[in-house]
């Protein structure tokens, strides 16, 4: 992939802070584009994949759309629309909450779990291939990114 300067054809940056912000945005776009290539044959977007992973993490315990929205990686995503699309693909179910009929519970279906299981090897391979760092560097990068977000 090379340097950021080569990739975006820019000779220099105003300062290293400006370069870091641009580098993070560029790297995000690179990762999402690569991830889209893996998810496309499964007819999933990265946001839909994120919702399925959130629901799998519930271990069968129903959750609400607002709870899903709170846990989404991309806070700008429309969780209700994503839930509707996943429901149409039979990957999740919407159920009326027995204790509050106004609330709708969301659960992943067996088909949704099967899709995630099929994707797991692809995603693990993707992570190992796309991250050109050793394990010590990965731990350091995670620590630095956590620190960056404060």
Average pLDDT of the chain is 91
Q: Is the confidence at residue 89, as pLDDT, over 90?
A: yes
Higher pLDDT, 4 or 142: 142
Instruction: Give domain limits for the chain.
Output: 7-122
pLDDT for residue 125 is more than 70 = yes
91 contact partners, CB below 8 Å, separation of at least 6: 52, 108, 109, 111, 112, 115
Residue 88 confidence (pLDDT): 97
Query: What mean pLDDT comes out for the span 3-9?
Result: 85
The pLDDT confidence band at residue 140, using thresholds 50, 70 and 90, is: very high
| pLDDT tens digits along 63-72 | 999 899 999 9
Q: Which residue has the tokens 């790297």?
A: 27
The region of weakest confidence among 31-40, 99-108, 141-150 is: 99-108
State the pTM of this model: 0.86
pLDDT of 6 higher than 70: yes
The fold adopted by the segment(s) 7-122 is: Arc Repressor Mutant, subunit A (1.10.10)
Helix orientation angle between 16-39 and 110-130, rounded to the nearest 10 degrees: 130
Nearest to 63 by CA among 15, 108, 30: 108
């Amino acid at each position: 992939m090379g340097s950021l300067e080569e990739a975006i054809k820019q000779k220099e940056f105003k300062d290293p802070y400006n370069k870091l912000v641009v580098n993070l945005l560029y790297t995000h776009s690179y990762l999402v584009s690569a991830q889209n290539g893996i998810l496309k044959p499964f007819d999933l977007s990265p946001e839909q994949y994120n919702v399925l992973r959130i629901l799998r993490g519930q271990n069968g315990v129903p959750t609400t759309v607002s709870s899903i929205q709170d846990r989404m990686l991309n806070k700008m995503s429309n969780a209700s629309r994503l839930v509707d699309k996943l429901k149409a693909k039979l990957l999740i179910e919407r159920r009326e909450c027995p204790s509050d009929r106004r609330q709708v519970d969301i659960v992943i279906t067996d088909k949704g779990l099967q899709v995630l299981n099929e994707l797991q090897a692809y995603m693990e391979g993707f992570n190992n291939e796309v991250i050109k760092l050793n394990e010590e560097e990965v731990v350091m990068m995670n620590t630095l990114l956590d620190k960056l977000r404060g």
